Chain A
Amino acid sequence: MSIILDKVNYVYSTGSAYEIQALKNINLQIEDGQFIGIIGHTGSGKSTLIQHMNGLMKATSGGIYFNGRDIYEEDYDKKELRTRVGLVFQYPEHQLFETTIFDDVCFGPMNQGLSKDEAGLRAFEALKMVGMPESLYYQSPFELSGGQKRRVAIAGVLAMKPEVLILDEPTAGLDPKGRDEILDLIADMHKKKKMTVILVSHSMEDVAKYVQRIIVMNSGEIIYDGTPGEVFRHYRELETIGLAAPQVTYLMHELKEFGLDADTDATTIEEAKKSILKMFR
């Protein structure tokens, strides 16, 4: 059970004056149950990459395999692939359209061909998972606050019970509290539901705090792929492509230069705290 990308290339507007190669020779294997962060600058190909994973975009060349089967085979059921690899787009609240929140969340399960009762049950579960108060279920989604709308939109994808959940900048435009809530929710789902989660972001702090593996993209290529510790060791190179390591990394490196025995692989405040306390023991 995994997603494998084999030498995937993607070119926008082939043969015109605006031709851009958005993905260059991407090789990637995503194992079951991993929590992965994809980081990169705007226009680095992150969004293009994730849209290949559920077959919304077709690679110009190369192959993509989901659970061992080539998704570009003639008779491969793309619709089923999309329900198994759930994709939450950037600003997902802009896609709400139904008259009530509950109906909107039902949209996905209904498209899967479930009965009305089953779809309702799924919607109920999903809304509960994202922490929506029941009193709001039959309100118009357009009356909610930004953060709540986003929860509803995420519930809309969760209701399809995907095995892999991909989120494109789920915290963009939210205040710190809303951001933490959404990220905690995602981390919780990864832990409890054993979902594979792919989080696209350009906030290093967010990514470092939650994920097990980081993939760094720059102008259509994967330049680093490893644990947060491994990736942020290249913090100087990250800076040259317009990214940065978490502030903790900088602190630890400075402590080390100062002559202290600081663990420079620490990427979260927790880890840094442990390392610093150890120094004084």
Chain B
Amino acid sequence: MLRDITIGQYYPADSIVHKLDPRVKLMAALIYIISLFTFRGVAGFILASLFLVFMIRLSKVPFSYMVKGLKAIVILMVITAAFNLFLTPGDQVLVHFWIFTITMEGVKNAAFMLVRLIYLIVGTSIMTLTTTPNQLTDGLEKSLMPLSKIKVPVHAIAMMMSIALRFIPILIEETDIIMKAQMARGADFENGNLIRRAKSMVPLLVPLFVSAFRRADDLAMAMEARCYVGGSGRTKMKPLRYKKRDYLAYLILIVYLAGIILLRVFL
């Protein structure tokens, strides 16, 4: 029922992208997002597309998995496209009716904006599909470590994040079970008007909150029982260390970003 949610969905496969250091992948996602909003014109678009196809091929994750994430932002895409389409001023007017004007620039803007959004989702989902949530928070913690110099509790934030991520599947499963249990008692979550449907959520949400608090309490107790005190002095079983392939990946990224910038400046 609720298994379609793709947040933090790791797809196990044996590829070079899976093996990369999570810090590289975080940086890659960031650079890719920047590049998407930097490129202008067809040449930049082709380069960004080629890079994406290259990454998808390399990751060995089925393309259908990445497309799944797009479903969630269909409405956002439609609204963005509509705004760009109707509200871009320009000289070349294609269609004009009532208060709407569609210009050539509008069509171009809408198309590019759509492509950017789609690439953004697909590109970042490569990162989440090839990195386990734990690796991801590890990478984030290490990348943000310099901030702890200015008293940002980096370790605590990373810990909270990994716990939150860990709880997502648990709570989804729990929701599924509670939903079924209430359905077994004749509850109806699908039919009725908005108010009735909102009301039907009470038998689902109350037990869910109770169990979330119970779980949080148990976890806190278990951590304390094992003398957890936080960041300082903690070592890792598998510390992150850059390997050759990671430096190579950084190099490719820099070349790619430089290519995008050059294309923008000179074309």
Contact = CB atoms under 8 A, between A and B. Distances in A.
Contact of A89 (B12, B177, B188, B210): B177
Interface stretch (B116-124, B135-143, B201-209): B201-209
B181 interface: yes
Contacts, number: 58
B180 A51 contact: yes
Interface size range of chain A in the complex: 20 to 34
A89 B186 contact: no
Given A17-B12, A96-B207, A56 B184 contact: yes
A111 B189 CA distance: 12
B185 interface: yes
Interface residues of B, number: 21
Interface string A160-203: 10000000000000000000000000000000000000000000
A95 B182 contact: yes
Interface in A201-238: none
Contacts of A142: 210
Contacts of A82: 183-186
A86 interface: yes
Contacts of A56: 180, 183-184
Interface string B188-217: 100000000000001100110011000000
A95 B186 contact: no
B261 interface: no
B188 A111 contact: yes
B3 interface: yes
A54 interface: yes
A42 interface: no
Contacts of B183: 56, 82
Interface of B: 3, 11-13, 177-178, 180-188, 202-203, 206-207, 210-211
The 5 closest A-B pairs by CB, nearest first: A111-B186, A97-B206, A108-B185, A87-B184, A95-B181
